[in-house]
Chain A
Amino acid sequence: MTTQDTAPLTFEDHFGLSPELITRTLDAALSRGGEFSEIYLEYKLFTFIRMEEGIIKETAESVSRGAGIRVISGGRTGYAYTNRLDAAQLKHGAMTAASISRGSGRSSARLSPSFPPHTYYPVQENPYAAPLPSKISLVESAYGSALEHDPCIRIVKASYADQIQHITIANSEGLMRSEVRPLVKLTCVVIAENKSGRREAGYFGGGGRVGMEYFSQSLTPQEIGRSAAREAVHLLDAAEAPAGEMPVVLAPGHSGVLIHEAVGHLLEADFNRKKTSIFWDKMGRRIGSPQVNIFDDPTIPFFRGSYNMDDEGTLPRKTPLILEGKVTGLLQDRLSAGIMQAELTGHGRRQDYTCIPIPRMSNSYIDAGDYSPEEILKSVQRGFYAHLFQGGQVEDSGKFTFSVSSGFLIENGRLAAPVKQATLIGSNIDILNKISMVGSDLRFGLQTGTCGKEGQSAPVTDGCPTLKIERMTVGGQT
C-alpha cells in the first residue's frame, strides 16, 4: 500500500460521520460563546508481537476510535471526548466542552476539506497491512542475532509494534484536514551474564514512520539484535562511573536527549506564555555559546517525530529555536500562538483523542559545528565520555538531568575504561554556555524514543554531533 492509496480516506469512511453532523457539532460547541471549536477524530489500529525465551509469547491487536471536542474561550479550554460516535454523544460532548464559555452562540465557518500538501512518509509497504508471519520473522531474526552474538547472552526479549493512525480534524474556522500516519518499532533488550554472576543489560531498536522495506534497506533486525547484545557484553567489563564535576564529551546521536531536555522543553510556548520557563524573558538574547544552533523539524522524511500536519491540522515547519547561541523561536500550538499573537509553527500535538493538544517537540537537534570528533576528544586530559542514554528530565527552572547507561573515562585525549550508570545534572543556560566545541558529525539517536509531558506521550527523535561541555556534574559512585 502506498500513501497515494491511503490519501483519499475521509472521515466518512472511518468515522461514519457526515460533513453536516460535523458542522452541527462545531456549532453546538460554540453555542455558548467561545471563539474556537474543533473536533478531532481518530481511528487507530495497533499490532504488537513479543518474543521471549525462544518463543513468540504473545501477539496483540488493538482498535481505538474516538472523538475529542474542544472549545477555546479566552484562555480557557473546554474538552470532552467519547468513543461512541453518534449524533447524541457528539452533541453531549460539544455541550460539555462549551460549558467553560459564557456568552451568546455563533456558527462556525463552512468546512473546506483538504489533505496536507506533503507527505513525509512515502512508505512502500505499510507495516500494518503486512502479513503477521513477516512481522514475526523480523522479531525472530532480531532475537536470534542477539542470542548468537556471544555466549554471555542469557536473556533476549525482542518486540515489534506497529500502528496506523487515521486522523480528521475540523474546526470552526473552516479547516478540515485528514491524514494517515504509519509508525513502526522493532526493539531488542538483552541481558548478558558473566561467570561471576554479574549481569548487565543492552538495548537497541529502530523504526519510524517507515515501511517494511526499512528492515531490509536501512536497519536490519540482525543489526538491531547484535547492537543490543554488544552493548550488554561491553557493560560486563564496565567500572563504576566517577562522581564530581569534570569535562564531559557527549557522543553523537543519542546525546540529543541533552538538547531535548535542556532546551527543547523550555522553548515550548505554553511554559513561556505562563512565564514559568527560565527562557520566557530571554527572547533574542544570547543564552549559550555562539557555536550552538538548535532546530526542531517535524518534516524530516520517515522520522518517528514527523507528521504531515500537527494534531490541530496545522502544516508543520522546521523551527529554529537557538541560532548562534541566541533564543530565536518557540514551539507553538493554537492556544499559545493565539494568546501570544505569534505565528503557528505546527507543534500542537496530542497523544490521542482523549487529550488536549499542547506544544511538543518532534525531531529536535543541535546542528553540526566545525570540529572533528577526534579534535574534541584530544582536547580533554581527563573527563567523562557519555555514550548511551536511558533518558532525561527537566523542570522549568532549567535544572535538568540525563541518565547515561554506558560511557567511558577519557584519559589523555583517548577513551579509556568503560563505565556504567551515571546521572548528569546541570542548569541549562550554564551548560549551554559551557559547550566549548561542537562536532561536525551530526547524527540522530534511535527511532524508538517517546517523550512524556503532562501525562501524554508522543513519538520523538533527537540528534546531536559530538559535543564538549567544559564542566558538568557527573553522578557516579566513585
Chain B
Amino acid sequence: MTADKIEERTTPLLEDLVSTGTLHGADEVEITFQAATEFSVDVRLGDIENLIEAGSTGVSIKVILDKRTAVATSSDLDRSTLEDLVIKAVQRAAQGSSDEYAGLPAGVPDPVDPETLELHDDEITRLDTETKISLARETEAIALRDPRITNSHGASFETRKIHSRLINSHGFSRSYTETYCSLGVGLQAGDTDDLVEGYWGSARRHFEDLETPESVAQKAVARTVRQLRPRKIKTQKVPVLFEPEMTGWLMGFLFSCVSGTAVYNRATFLLGKLGQKIADERVSVYDDGLLKRGLGSSPFDAEGVPCRKTSVIERGVLTNYLCNTYAARKLERSSTGNASGGGVAPSNFHLAAGSTAPADMIRSIEKGMILIRVLGHGLNPITGDLSRGAFGLWVEKGEILFPVSEITISGNLGAVLQEIVAVGNDLEFNRSVCGPSLLIGEMTVAGL
C-alpha cells in the first residue's frame, strides 16, 4: 500500500482520536501522522553490501488540559493502542504543571498550496531497483578508476517519500507529500598508515536536480586526494577560508544560538542582542521555509503555522529569533513557523551569497588556511566558543602549498561573525542548513 493510500485510510481514525481526547477532557488535541517509504542501497567495491526497503508509519499525539501538556508517539496504528495513548496522555497531563504559555496556536492563516513548493517528484517513486543500484555502482566505479584511490567506504543511493497530515481540535486538517533522494560516495587514498578520507554526496527533492554519478565521483575523488601527504603546522593565528560545507556547520551552530528555545533558556550568547550589529555588514542570514524544492521547505510547520522566509541577520544586524508558538509566547514575539517535534528547527537556514569568487579569496591570502573538513563537536552556544579538529590546505602568497592535518581551529562565533572579510558567490542548497565560502580575518589554528 502506498503512503498516500495509507494516509487516506487513516484520516478518519485521526479525526476520531481528536474527539477521543476532547471527550476525555482535553482542552486542545493535536495529532500528527506520517507514512514513509524508504529505499537505500550501499554498493562497495562493485557489489551490493546492503539493500533496505521499508514502509513505516508513526502517530504523534499532543493534548493540553488546563495549560498542562502531555505528548505520546506510536509506530502502531492499532485503533485501541492509539485511543489508549490519547486517554493516558490526558491523565498524564493532569499530573503535570500548569504553564501559561502552553497551548496550540490559534487563528493561524492558511498556508501556501503545497504544490507550489514542488516538494515531491513522482519520478523518484517510479525508479526501478536496478536503476537505483546502478546509480550507486556507477558512482563508485568512476571514483575507483582514479589510481590514487586505494579503498572505498562504498557508494549509497537513497530515496524517501513521506506523507504527513496534521489535525487539531481547532479544525486544522492538512497534508502534504515530500520526496528526497541522495547519492554519495566515501573514499580513502594513501597506504594504511598514511590514510586520508573524503566524501561527497548530493541530496535533492527532485531526481532531475541530483548530481550525476560522474559529478559526485569526481568531487569525492578531488576532496580525498587533495589531503594526501599532510604536514603539521605550528600554532598560530591566521586567516581561515571556510569552504561551503564548513560554512554549513557554522550556520548549524548559529541556528542553535538564534533558536527561540535557547533564548528563553538563556542558553545563547546572542541573548538580548536583537537589533544589534553582531556580524560584519556583508553577512545576511535567512531562514526560508518556502524555497521552491528546498530540502528544508514545507507549507506549514509541526503546529500548522505557515512556513515563511524570516530574516535572521540583515547586513550584520540581528533581526529575529526563530520561534515555535511556545518560544514566541515566552519572548512576546510571533511564531516564525519553525516548530518541529516539540522544539524549534531550521527550514532552509542559510547565509546569503556574496559577490567574491572563492578563487579570488584564495588569491587574497598572504598566509593562511582553507578549512576543508572538521572532526569532533566542541561547540558551546552559551558562550559561542568553538573548537574542532580540523583538516586544511595551507596557503601562502595566494597559492595552495600543502595539506595540513592534526590541527584544531578555535574561536568564538561572535568574533568569527564580526571578522568575516569576504562572502563567496558559491551558495548551493545541497543541505537545508548551508552557506557559501567565507573568509575569516583571523582564527587560532593549533598544531605543534
Contact B387 A476 (CB under 8 A): yes
Which residues on A sit within 8 Å (CB–CB) of B44?
Answer: 274
Contact of A401 with B by CB under 8 A: yes
* Residue from the list B89, B267, B405, B412 in contact with A61, Cβ < 8 A: B89
Contact A66 B95 (CB under 8 A): no
Contact B389 A423 (CB under 8 A): yes
- Say if the beta carbon of A477 comes within 8 Å of chain B: yes
**B149, CB-defined interface residue at 8 Å:** no
The answer to whether B197 touches A397 (Cβ under 8 A) is: yes
Query: Does A3 count as interface, using CB distance less than 8 angstroms?
Result: no
Partner of A397, one of B57, B71, B129, B196: B196
Q: Select A154's contact among B48, B49, B266, B387, beta carbons within 8 Å.
A: B266
B238 to chain A minimum Cβ distance, whole angstroms, is 13
A56 within 8 A of B: yes
B53, B151, B383, B447: the one within 8 Å of A421 (CB): B383
Is there an interface contact between B266 and A425, defined as CB atoms closer than 8 Å?
no
A420 CA to B111 CA, complexed, in Å: 45
The contact of A473 among B55, B444, B447, by CB within 8 Å, is B447
Say whether A84 contacts B77, CB under 8 Å: yes
Find chain A residues with CB under 8 A from B412 CB.
Answer: 477
CB < 8 Å neighbour of A79 from B52, B55, B342, B382: B52
- Judge whether A476 and B265 touch: CB under 8 Å: no
The docked-state distance in angstroms from the alpha carbon of A400 to that of B374 is 10
Q: Give bound CA distance, A391 to B376, whole Å.
A: 7
Q: A75-111: contact bitstring with B at CB < 8 Å (1 yes, 0 no)?
A: 1111111111000000001001001100000000000
B92 near A132 with CB under 8 A, answer yes
> What is the CA–CA distance of A425 and B446 in the complex, to the nearest angstrom?
10
Asked if B98 is at the interface of the complex by the 8 Å CB criterion, the answer is: yes
Q: Which residues of the partner chain B approach A157 to less than 8 Å between Cβ atoms?
A: 265
Q: Which residues of chain A in 400-415 are interfacial with respect to chain B, using CB atoms and an 8 Å cutoff?
A: 400-403, 405
The answer to whether residues A401 and B72 also contact, given A80-B53, A278-B192, A278-B195 and a CB cut-off of 8 A, is no
B-side contacts of A64, CB under 8 Å: 73-76
Interface residue? A201 (CB, 8 A): yes
User: Which residues in window 96-148 of A have CB below 8 A to B?
Assistant: 96, 99-100, 132-133, 136
If A57-B97, A59-B70, A421-B385 touch, does A427 touch B406 (CB 8 Å cutoff)?
yes
| Distance of A436 from chain B, by nearest CB (Å) | 19
The count of residues in chain B whose C-beta lies closer than 8 Å to any C-beta of chain A is 71
Of chain B, the residue at the smallest CB distance from A42 is B75
Min CB gap B106→A, angstroms: 20
With both chains docked as a complex, state the minimum distance between the C-beta of B331 and any C-beta of chain A, in angstroms. 13
Could you say which residues of chain A place their CB within 8 Å of the CB of B98?
A: 55
User: Which of chain B's residues has its CB closest to A244's CB?
Assistant: B235
Say whether A401 contacts B52, CB under 8 Å.
Answer: no
A397 touches B195 (CB 8 A): yes
CA A391 – CA B81 in complex, angstroms?
38
Do A60 and B151 contact each other (CB < 8 Å), given the known contacts A244-B448, A278-B193?
no
Known: A275-B192, A477-B410. A421 touches B387 (CB 8 A): yes
**Other-chain residue from A193, A356, A423 in contact with B378 (beta carbon distance below 8 A):** A423
Q: Is B375 a contact partner of A59 (Cβ separation < 8 A)? A: no
A83 (CB) vs chain B CBs: closest residue: B75
Interface string of A386-398 (1 = CB under 8 A from B): 0000111111111
CA distance A176 to B49 in the complex (A): 26
Most buried by A among B47, B70, B195: B195
A475 to B385 alpha-carbon distance, docked (Å): 12
Whether the Cβ atoms of B375 and A83 lie closer than 8 Å is: no
**Chain A residues within an 8 Å CB radius of B448:** 244-245, 473
**Contact among A75, A133, A475 with B387 in the assembled complex (CB-CB below 8 Å):** A475
Whether A474 contacts B89 in the complex (CB less than 8 A), given A200-B382, A403-B387, comes out as no
Count of inter-chain pairs, beta carbons less than 8 A: 249
Q: Which B residue's beta carbon lies closest to that of A471?
A: B448
CB-based contact A421/B72 at 8 Å: no
Contact with A along B30-73 (1 / 0, CB 8 A): 00000000000000100111111111110000000000011111
Find B151's partner among A243, A276, A478 (CB 8 Å cutoff).
Answer: A276
Provide the residues of chain B in CB contact with A24, threshold 8 Å: none
Hey, which chain B residues are within 8 Å of A281, CB to CB? 192
**CB nearest to B73 among chain A residues:** A62
Given A76-B47, A201-B380, A475-B387, residue A401 in contact with residue B188 (CB < 8 A): no
A470 at the interface (CB under 8 A from B): no
Give the residue of A84, A191, A391, A396 whose beta carbon is less than 8 angstroms from that of B267. A191
Cβ–Cβ < 8 Å partners of B88 in chain A: 61
Bound complex: CA A136 to CA B193 (Å): 52
Q: Give the residue of B151, B269, B387, B405 whose beta carbon is less than 8 angstroms from that of A399.
A: B405
Closest to B59 in A: A63
Q: Is A215 an interface residue (CB 8 A)?
A: no
| Chain B: minimal CB distance from A101 (Å) | 10
Q: Which of A62, A200, A402, A425: most chain B CB closer than 10 A?
A: A425
Are the CB atoms of A132 and B95 closer together than 8 Å? yes
Find chain A residues with CB under 8 A from B153 CB.
274, 276, 396
Contact for B389 among A132, A280, A475, CB less than 8 A: A475
Interface membership of A52, Cβ < 8 A = yes
Q: B89: which A residues are within 8 A, CB to CB?
A: 61
The reply to whether the CB of A65 lies closer than 8 angstroms to some CB of chain B is yes
Q: Is B85 an interface residue (CB 8 A)?
A: yes
Contact B72 A61 (CB under 8 A): yes
Bound together, the chains give a CA A60 to CA B62 distance in angstroms of 9
B389, A399: Cβ atoms closer than 8 Å: yes
Please tell me if B148 contacts chain A, counting CB pairs below 8 Å.
no
Please determine whether B342 and A403 come into contact, CB atoms closer than 8 angstroms: no
Q: How far is the CA of A80 from the CA of B81 in the complex (A)?
A: 24
- Contacts A100-B51, A281-B192 given: A393-B377 contact, CB under 8 Å? yes
Q: A46's closest neighbor in chain B, by CB?
A: B73
Closest 7 CB pairs of A and B: A475-B408, A401-B376, A401-B389, A55-B97, A397-B195, A243-B446, A403-B378
New A-B contacts (8) at CB < 8 Å, excluding given A154-B266, A401-B388, A405-B380 = A55-B96, A61-B71, A63-B74, A75-B49, A76-B49, A99-B53, A191-B267, A396-B188
Could you write out 11 A-B pairs with CB less than 8 Å apart? A56-B97, A63-B76, A100-B51, A199-B267, A199-B269, A392-B377, A399-B375, A399-B389, A400-B375, A423-B378, A474-B408
